[in-house]
Chain A
């Protein structure tokens, strides 16, 4: 599609070039993460200073607060944590990492991007409809979400939310099929399954999960839509009385809200692995690369990636321990959830051993990978705590849970994205990002991340529930319980403001380096994976597109001889002299 007869907008806007689409996804994610972050700051500020007036808006009403929660969660989860690693960097890097020159279905690729963009516009447009955006959180539990009169935003706002996520689910499925087919069919010669970079294994497993999970989500969305508009009652029980009205005429059947929870979390839990799996793979590769070491237990890392994916679809019920689930079922889900701690621990062990006494090169990308490891450990360890039903009975829907998933998903997920950006920026632009600015960005961000999300464990233990529009002015004994968390909450809000402000360093670095960054050498990080292959490099000469790509070895092979490092990229034909099997 690079023929000269195409006009510029057609070329850049409706391109089927996977690299252009990758950048489009990343720009979309950048816009989304900016909106999502600003919304979260509004929430944090309102929580501790509820009387502040927002310019151009006025006071934040309880329904506004819940709309902020809903849009923040939806936009961050779908349009940032799913889109950027999986579709953004997946498109940019995945084909070259397996020695392919394109994605399997270029047109479907463009379609899925434009559907994603449409989904974002639909979601944001719900702010402007009567009643405003949906206020039921990103989980949209019925009957609250099933009946338009249940509250502000549950009318047109909820319909738009459903439409947005449905369109996103279709786009995600198309994108996932594209990823899977590309990996299965378009690998170059010699790229056997055990030589595929772990990043690609992350994308592969996430794509498998996407296909399974998004189809169930789409089905659930359609059922909920039918409940709202077609007189069905999949999720609305008989005699449901909302706002003084019995909805027997509009919902004549006897449905169960729990059905939605099952369908939703069957999607919702794999979704968090879709968000984190590419980051897990990338972290392994970067730690190894900057330590000049092989990935410790490479094949085991492939197995644990697949195992995390497989177990990831078996444990949705741990969101439902106090939802009305049979207590015996809760026990089964507790065991499957605890089980996932084992492959996750194996990953952490591999990382620790890989960098152990290696004296790595502390590039910004490496720092963010180390930050990823740290946040994955800290955020991950509260997972087994929440997996125990008796403890979840106390901690469910408190800020302890918010702390857990923000550390592991939001923060570790974003650290993976930062590592990817600093690492692949030379490939995208031919320039290096500023390392000194990058280091400052890393240290302020990790400080801000921990200062913001660690204290949330404590307010959670103190009993602070999620989704509370106000902690001040609540009557009864509850008011006293909530007021006790205020000092810590003020600290968290200041930390969040600090964390968000630190991201200006990233934007400054991005903009500055685009124009004035140091020109990058062809393989600035001495990487071993194929995206740095001279013939697959974006600005390789035209005749390179004919060159045959052959892979001879696993990624991350290095020879440390006295005083010098010998890098053996996957395309290197050099034999390894005298390697002792371990």
Chain B
């Protein structure tokens, strides 16, 4: 249960990565790399601009201002730089968001509710049962309002922690029962608002076993700061055992 980010030696790592948390997802390293590239570039630009400002202020006075050309060359260079960053970022964005998940991806539903996250697995029939807000009753063990009249719902597993296997794509369908919440897993470089009335799909692949934080990042009420859950990433065989145990407990 020890989170990965406090492993020995991670302090030096966190300096090199500007304090980014441990990265445990398949798409994460590319995102981190692009982010760090961005940060170094803007750090360089900020330093350069301040250097020009300081040198310009202390250097010997010149009678008139400089030629018009000094405006357009740096501007062209900056335009090319920003275009380069945009295109690079777009390729990463398109890779994670333009297409849906692999059909073989593990299906999990994520539901936000003031102030908890619930996770639902479709069970042995691979189909989510119908839910109705009228039937929501956390006290009676039905926090998502699964309709008992719908056969698909009988084997659905609802948990308060998200458990996933390594190296398998996960297709999350995210929604909210009440207000807008922000589903965020910093260590998976993943964030997507949960919006009532909408189901939003995101997909990712966890790579490294461990326990990670799931936060709420959209202000949703007084309990906002403690609306969180654990993401437990397990090796595939341990995940299979966990799922089997869960399934046994919901079998009629």
Flag if B56 contacts A63 (CB, 8 Å).
no
Decide yes or no: A350 and B71 within 8 Å by CB, A258-B198, A388-B38 being known contacts: yes
Contact of B186 among A237, A297, A389, A463 (CB under 8 A): A463
Q: Does B46 contact A (CB under 8 A)?
A: yes
Q: Does B66 contact A (CB under 8 A)?
A: yes
Flag if B75 contacts A322 (CB, 8 Å).
no
Quick one: closest A residue to B32, CB to CB?
A394
Quick one: closest B residue to A300, CB to CB?
B71
Flag if A324 contacts B75 (CB, 8 Å).
no
Q: Does A354 contact B (CB under 8 A)?
A: yes
Flag if A144 contacts B220 (CB, 8 Å).
yes
Flag if A256 contacts B197 (CB, 8 Å).
yes
Decide yes or no: A242 and B114 within 8 Å by CB, A327-B98, A385-B42 being known contacts: yes
| Contact residues, B225-251 vs A (CB, 8 A) | 225-226, 228-231
Flag if B50 contacts A377 (CB, 8 Å).
yes
A506 to chain B, nearest CB (A): 24
A562 to chain B, nearest CB (A): 10
- Most chain-A CB neighbours within 10 Å: which of B21, B65, B133, B182? B65
Q: Does B200 contact A (CB under 8 A)?
A: yes
Quick one: closest B residue to A64, CB to CB?
B222
Q: Does B136 contact A (CB under 8 A)?
A: yes
Complex CA gap A467/B179 in Å reads 16
A151 surroundings in chain B (CB, below 8 A): 114, 221-222
1/0 per residue, CB under 8 A from A, across B44-82: the answer is 011001101100110111111111101100110011001
B79 to chain A, nearest CB (A): 6
1/0 per residue, CB under 8 A from B, across A121-139: the answer is 0000000000000011100
Decide yes or no: A293 and B65 within 8 Å by CB, A345-B78, A391-B35, A468-B224 being known contacts: yes
B200 surroundings in chain A (CB, below 8 A): 324
Contact of B182 among A352, A355, A397, A469 (CB under 8 A): A397
Decide yes or no: A137 and B228 within 8 Å by CB, A381-B45, A394-B31 being known contacts: no
Q: Does B86 contact A (CB under 8 A)?
A: yes
1/0 per residue, CB under 8 A from A, across B130-153: the answer is 001110100000000000000000
Flag if B224 contacts A66 (CB, 8 Å).
yes
A373 surroundings in chain B (CB, below 8 A): 53
Flag if B195 contacts A560 (CB, 8 Å).
no
Flag if A396 contacts B217 (CB, 8 Å).
yes
1/0 per residue, CB under 8 A from A, across B28-41: the answer is 00010011001100
Flag if B228 contacts A478 (CB, 8 Å).
yes
Q: Does A526 contact B (CB under 8 A)?
A: no
Complex CA gap A241/B178 in Å reads 5
Q: Does B213 contact A (CB under 8 A)?
A: yes
A331 surroundings in chain B (CB, below 8 A): 90, 93-94
| Contact residues, A40-77 vs B (CB, 8 A) | 61-63, 66, 69
Flag if A240 contacts B197 (CB, 8 Å).
yes
Decide yes or no: A356 and B66 within 8 Å by CB, A330-B93, A334-B90, A476-B213 being known contacts: yes
Flag if B179 contacts A144 (CB, 8 Å).
yes
Quick one: closest B residue to A292, CB to CB?
B61
| Contact residues, A383-416 vs B (CB, 8 A) | 384-385, 387-391, 393-394, 396-398
Q: Does A374 contact B (CB under 8 A)?
A: yes
Decide yes or no: A346 and B71 within 8 Å by CB, A469-B225, A478-B214 being known contacts: yes
Flag if A462 contacts B46 (CB, 8 Å).
no
Flag if B218 contacts A141 (CB, 8 Å).
yes
1/0 per residue, CB under 8 A from A, across B190-224: the answer is 11110111101000000000011111111111111
- Most chain-A CB neighbours within 10 Å: which of B5, B68, B93, B230? B93
Complex CA gap A390/B33 in Å reads 12
B9 to chain A, nearest CB (A): 15
Q: Does A484 contact B (CB under 8 A)?
A: yes
Q: Does B92 contact A (CB under 8 A)?
A: yes
B26 surroundings in chain A (CB, below 8 A): none
Flag if A393 contacts B180 (CB, 8 Å).
no
Contact of B133 among A144, A239, A346 (CB under 8 A): A239
A243 surroundings in chain B (CB, below 8 A): 114, 178
A257 to chain B, nearest CB (A): 6
Flag if B18 contacts A370 (CB, 8 Å).
no
B34 surroundings in chain A (CB, below 8 A): 388, 390-391
1/0 per residue, CB under 8 A from B, across A317-342: the answer is 00000111001101100110010011
Flag if B191 contacts A357 (CB, 8 Å).
no
B226 surroundings in chain A (CB, below 8 A): 470, 474-475
- Most chain-B CB neighbours within 10 Å: which of A331, A359, A465? A465
Contact of A328 among B59, B98, B189 (CB under 8 A): B98
Q: Does A546 contact B (CB under 8 A)?
A: no
Question: Which residues of A are in contact with B by a Cβ distance under 8 Å?
Answer: 61-63, 66, 69, 135-137, 141-144, 150-152, 237-244, 246, 254-258, 293-294, 296-297, 300, 322-324, 327-328, 330-331, 334-335, 338, 341-342, 345-346, 348-350, 352-360, 370, 373-374, 377-378, 381-382, 384-385, 387-391, 393-394, 396-398, 458-459, 461-463, 465-470, 474-478, 480-481, 484, 560, 582
5 additional contacts, CB 8 Å, given A353-B65, A377-B45, A560-B64? Answer: A66-B224, A349-B70, A381-B45, A463-B186, A582-B68
5 interchain residue pairs of minimum CB distance: A237-B197, A388-B89, A478-B228, A463-B186, A327-B97
